[in-house]
C-alpha cells in the first residue's frame, strides 16, 4: 500500500529568490521514509500550514570564473565565505583539487562544494589507479553532473571545472541541478554578472599567460568590489599540460586596516574602593616515596 505525501520542494534559481512548488511524492511501502529529506518536507509543510513563515534562502556568495588561454586554462575565485550577512571566513579556499591536471571552483553552500569535490576527487583517483591512466576531464564532468542531478538540485553546488588532459584544455560550468556547459570562459556565483561583464568586453581566444591572469584577476576583482557576497583576495590556478600551479593569494585586493591607537583601558580607569590583606598559613608538605618493589622477608 503506497503512502502519498505532499512535499514542499524548494527550487533555487541562480539569480532569483525562492520559487516554491508543491509536488506529489509517492513513498514505497515501508514504515520509515526512504530519504531523510522526506520527513523534513513533511515537517516544513506542517509548519507552513500552521502559519509560520518559511525562511528565505541565502543567496550564494562568491565570484568564480575560468578561461581557456593559449597554453591551458586559468581558474579564479574570491575568498569570502558568508553566513547570511556576516562574513564567516575572510580567506577560504574555493578552488578545489580534483586531480593533478584538474581543479574545480565551487560556489554555493561551502560544505556542498567541498564534499562534492572531495568525493569526486577520491573516485577519480580510484578510477585512474584501476585504469592505469590519467582520467580525461569529461570523466570528472560526468561524475559531478550525475551526482548533482541525482540529488535534484538539493546539493547547492555551482562549479567551474577546468583542466588540461590529452585532448587539450577545457573549461566547464556545472549547475546545481546537473546541467553542464562547455565554453571558452565561464563565471558562476553571485558575482558572476560582474565577472562576466569583464570577460565579455576583454576576452580573446589564445591569450598569453600574463594577459590571461590579469583578465581573470580583473573579473574576480569586479565581483569582489561590486558584489557583497564576494570579497577579500583573488586566488588563481593556472593549469597547463605541464601541471597545475595554485596561486593563493594571487592578489591581496583587500588589506585589513591596522589599528591606529592602543585601545586598552588605562590603569585607574576602574576605581579601587577598598583593599584588604589576608594572611594565609601555608604548610609545606613533603612527599617521600617508599620503595616497595623489592620482596621483603625470606625467599
Closest CA to 104 of 184, 143, 161: 161
Query: Is 125 one of the binding residues for other proteins (CB under 8 A)?
Result: yes
Question: In terms of CB distance, is 19 or 126 closer to other proteins?
Answer: 126
Rounded to whole angstroms, how far apart are CA atoms 165 and 169? Answer: 6
* Residue 224 CB-half CA count within 13 A: 23
- Asked if 198 and 190 touch (Cβ cutoff 8 Å), the reply is no
Distance set, CA 228 to CA 99, 178, 218 (Å): 31, 26, 16
The residue from 36, 130, 260, 269 that contacts other proteins (CB under 8 A) is 130
Rounded to whole angstroms, how far apart are CA atoms 211 and 170? Answer: 18
Piece of the chain touching other proteins by CB under 8 A; list 11-19, 129-137, 142-150, 152-160 = 129-137
Query: Is 119 one of the binding residues for other proteins (CB under 8 A)?
Result: yes
* Phi, psi (deg, nearest 5) at residue 84: 75, -120
Closest CA to 206 of 237, 184, 173: 184
> Min. distance of Cβ 242 from other proteins in angstroms?
18
> Min. distance of Cβ 98 from other proteins in angstroms?
14
The residue from 6, 21, 91, 122 that contacts other proteins (CB under 8 A) is 122
> Min. distance of Cβ 101 from other proteins in angstroms?
15
The residue from 129, 167, 272, 290 that contacts other proteins (CB under 8 A) is 129
The yes-or-no answer on residue 62 being catalytic is yes
Query: Is 118 one of the binding residues for other proteins (CB under 8 A)?
Result: yes
> Min. distance of Cβ 106 from other proteins in angstroms?
17
Piece of the chain touching other proteins by CB under 8 A; list 9-17, 123-131, 167-175, 278-286 = 123-131
Closest CA to 139 of 107, 189, 104, 96: 104
* Phi, psi (deg, nearest 5) at residue 38: -55, -50
The residue from 9, 25, 33, 123 that contacts other proteins (CB under 8 A) is 123
Query: Is 13 one of the binding residues for other proteins (CB under 8 A)?
Result: no
Interface with other proteins (CB under 8 A): 118-119, 122-123, 125-126, 129-130, 132
Amino acid at each position: 500500500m503506497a503512502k502519498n505525501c505532499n512535499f514542499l520542494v524548494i527550487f533555487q534559481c541562480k539569480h532569483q529568490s525562492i520559487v516554491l512548488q508543491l509536488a506529489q511524492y509517492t513513498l514505497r511501502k515501508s514504515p520509515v521514509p526512504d530519504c531523510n529529506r522526506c520527513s523534513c518536507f513533511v515537517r516544513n509543510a506542517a509548519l507552513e500550514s500552521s502559519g509560520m513563515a518559511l525562511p528565505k534562502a541565502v543567496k550564494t556568495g562568491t565570484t568564480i570564473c575560468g578561461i581557456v588561454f593559449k597554453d591551458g586554462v586559468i581558474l579564479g575565485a574570491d575568498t569570502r565565505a558568508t553566513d547570511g550577512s556576516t562574513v564567516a571566513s575572510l580567506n577560504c579556499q574555493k578552488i578545489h583539487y580534483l586531480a593533478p591536471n584538474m581543479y574545480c571552483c565551487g560556489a554555493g553552500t561551502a560544505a556542498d562544494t567541498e564534499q562534492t569535490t572531495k568525493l569526486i576527487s577520491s573516485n577519480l583517483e580510484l578510477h585512474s589507479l584501476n585504469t592505469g591512466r590519467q582520467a580525461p576531464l569529461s570523466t570528472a564532468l560526468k561524475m559531478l553532473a550525475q551526482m548533482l542531478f541525482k540529488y535534484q538540485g538539493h546539493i547547492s553546488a555551482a562549479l567551474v571545472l577546468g583542466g588540461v588532459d590529452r585532448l587539450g584544455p577545457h573549461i566547464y560550468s556545472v549547475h546545481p541541478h546537473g546541467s553542464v556547459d562547455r565554453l571558452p570562459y565561464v563565471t558562476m556565483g553571485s558575482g558572476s554578472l560582474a565577472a562576466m561583464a569583464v570577460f565579455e568586453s576583454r576576452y580573446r581566444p589564445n591569450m598569453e599567460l600574463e594577459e590571461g591572469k590579469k583578465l581573470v584577476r580583473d573579473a574576480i576583482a569586479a565581483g569582489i568590489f561590486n558584489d557583497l557576497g564576494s570579497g577579500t583576495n583573488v586566488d588563481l590556478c593556472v593549469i597547463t599540460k605541464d601541471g597545475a600551479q595554485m596561486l593563493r593569494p594571487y592578489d591581496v585586493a583587500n588589506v585589513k586596516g591596522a589599528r591606529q591607537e592602543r585601545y586598552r583601558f588605562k590603569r585607574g580607569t576602574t576605581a579601587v574602593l577598598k583593599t584588604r590583606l589576608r594572611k594565609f598559613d601555608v604548610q609545606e608538605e613533603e612527599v617521600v616515596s617508599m620503595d616497595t618493589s623489592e620482596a621483603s622477608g625470606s625467599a
